[in-house]
Structure 1
């Protein structure tokens, strides 16, 4: 006897992770062959194409440094986490790697100054950055590593000295030295003071029209100096991945969360409805009129509440699943909280090298390259 087809409501129920007052239940996936007798849950490409969805909630196409939020619906947690890890560690960018200090009389030690410079995000023509070569590290055969060329190295310079401003001595004599900007010149060293020096093909690849190499945020403070102090150094930026060092990571944040669900199983009315709404972030719970149809569906005892306000779910997307409502006894057995197991809400914020929207597409390409590599190796094994 063939098993009865599973209803859409039952399939949706199986996807919900239960969020209780003290526990989390049904955290494991059940859509694999053999879990439900008589049901076929073998992975099917056509079924995946029909069920998989991408929804954009907030795009940073016009403002590339802002947060991009989108949903991936209908995939496994392992795939979603693969995208997150690729965003963090495997999309290449450029960062300052070698710092050659000619003179540093500021109060910041050479190694601390080099570390601060390495963490400054750099941007430019990202198509040319992607086309750059990775500089080979030192080996036994090549103790000094690959030599820097215009194919693998970006040359930057920082030369700045602090001096007394014109008329500073008169201000000091009159005790009118409240504003240090009137006393000193170049007393603050900013990322904007870093100068890009193109070499070879970089003159065309990183021209003013295509996008020269520059700090993403020119107002980043590097050091503070006083008259007589100077910083004079040369920097070599190279291409790398976040897996090598965090300074190469193209994202400030790359995270995901599961879509929240709020199921009101019994009517919450009157003052309780207003209190229930305060248990959630704004605009998650709304108030509507309790009608006669609502009373008929709720059962006996609710006729006298017609006309009162009832709590309804307006936008579960913005819920943080704080479980605050589960602390109050008046809401016991009236609400169920959960999360959708295969609905991942991604938040991606770039450090500025690449647009946030482009970053996710790059992570998809990186994962596709990995799978193609595995397929080639498997084909070689099976020969």
Structure 2
């Protein structure tokens, strides 16, 4: 082969290599952009050093106070190391997940993994203040001779959770037109006979009135038409118990043993209560949760082997039983972390001098949240979380629409 042919073959090989590089670069660009291609090069460190990675992903719970509690979510934080730390949608979709730990009738515990604290707190605030429910708003008192004042009695009635799906009702308009689509009416009439023992009025004595209010509306007309039906405080066009949603699920208080009042002999309460739709931001009685809270996942690390008497002492120091003791043979035992999730970060295990701080390290995982929802009973807790997701989604869509 001539020198000219050899030079031509070398040029062709170089061009082929360049084409392969461009093809590889193009594929990486389609998958994750230029940044992913750069991060795949050997000269770029694939991840942060262990020390920085610990500070980025963990809260260090020292003996006196937690440290490194801030979340670092901007791209330039570790730019000098070639690591992009910005929040990216593709990485979020891969890492985010929800794991249900415990589900009961009115309580739900689940893990939210791979999410920023701001979003976790947004769900908590929406659950408390923005998921709508039905609650007693207006009380029409015909007779109240008990020791409880009218306004206190009305307030107690408003705080009684009502077992009904609020999604079946509309919001009360500005015209205050109480009808079967936006109002639930309850009536209460209890009387204690003279010289009879004291009686307790409970929430199970609140009776659903599917036909609406029965109290006649006060009229300015001094000569009302006797043949016409007297107007009431509601304008129901049909009975609510005829609707298919309520045939098998009658409306009533969630709990039947909530004490409303106590009546002595000769005392009486007669009233009607009108429940409407609202949110907890307006008043706490509309909040669908007894509480909604979260905490970061605790992480307990033994920095060295803890054996024999010291292991027993460590187990006794923890009030919630995070540590356990296992037999390692030859008459020796050592401490192990049996239930790290139960850790409340009381820090008893690291108190007692520097020697204990050198044995045990306590952390919190910054992007792993243990979320607990306790429902008041209007909706099951898993449904409350779904409604909170829908509300947050609607907020995001509204912001995007206004910006565009």
For residues 8 and 153 of structure 1, what CA distance do their matches in structure 2 show?
Answer: 61
Matched, 1:286 2:329: no
Q: CA deviation at 1:108?
A: 0.6
Q: TM-score, normalised to structure 1's length?
A: 0.82
Question: Is the contact between residue 301 and residue 361 of structure 2 (CA under 8 Å) also seen in structure 1?
Answer: yes
Q: How does 1:59-74 map to 2 (within 5 A)?
A: 59-60=103-104, 64-65=105-106, 67-74=107-114
Of 10, 14, 17 in structure 1, the residue corresponding to residue 59 of structure 2 is: 17
Of 92, 97, 100 in structure 2, the residue corresponding to residue 56 of structure 1 is: 100
Q: CA deviation at 1:133?
A: 1.5
How many residues of Structure 1 are paired with residues of Structure 2 in the alignment? 333
Matched, 1:27 2:69: yes
Matched, 1:46 2:90: yes
Q: TM-score, normalised to structure 2's length?
A: 0.78
In structure 2, relative to structure 1, the CA distance for the partners of 1:255 and 1:205 (3 Å cut) is farther
Q: CA deviation at 1:255?
A: 0.3
Q: CA deviation at 1:282?
A: 3.9
For residues 340 and 293 of structure 2, what CA distance do their matches in structure 1 show?
Answer: 19
For residues 368 and 208 of structure 1, what CA distance do their matches in structure 2 show?
Answer: 30
Of 247, 256, 261 in structure 1, the residue corresponding to residue 299 of structure 2 is: 261
Q: How does 1:115-154 map to 2 (within 5 A)?
A: 115-124=155-164, 126=165, 129-137=166-174, 145-154=175-184
Matched, 1:337 2:362: yes
For residues 274 and 93 of structure 1, what CA distance do their matches in structure 2 show?
Answer: 51
| SS across alignment from 2:344 | coil
For residues 294 and 240 of structure 2, what CA distance do their matches in structure 1 show?
Answer: 37
Q: Which protein has greater RCO, CA pairs closer than 8 Å, 6+ apart?
A: 1
Q: How does 1:343-382 map to 2 (within 5 A)?
A: 343-379=368-404
RMSD: 2.0
Question: Is the contact between residue 260 and residue 317 of structure 1 (CA under 8 Å) also seen in structure 2?
Answer: yes
Q: CA deviation at 1:75?
A: 0.4
For residues 208 and 154 of structure 1, what CA distance do their matches in structure 2 show?
Answer: 12
Structure 2 residue runs of 5 or longer lacking an equivalent are 1-41, 212-237
Question: Is the contact between residue 325 and residue 335 of structure 2 (CA under 8 Å) also seen in structure 1?
Answer: yes
| SS across alignment from 1:34 | helix
If you compute each CA radius of gyration, which structure gives the higher value, 1 or 2? Answer: 2
| SS across alignment from 2:76 | coil
Deviations 1:60-115 (A, max 9, x none): 2xxx22x2111101000100000000000000000000011100001111111001
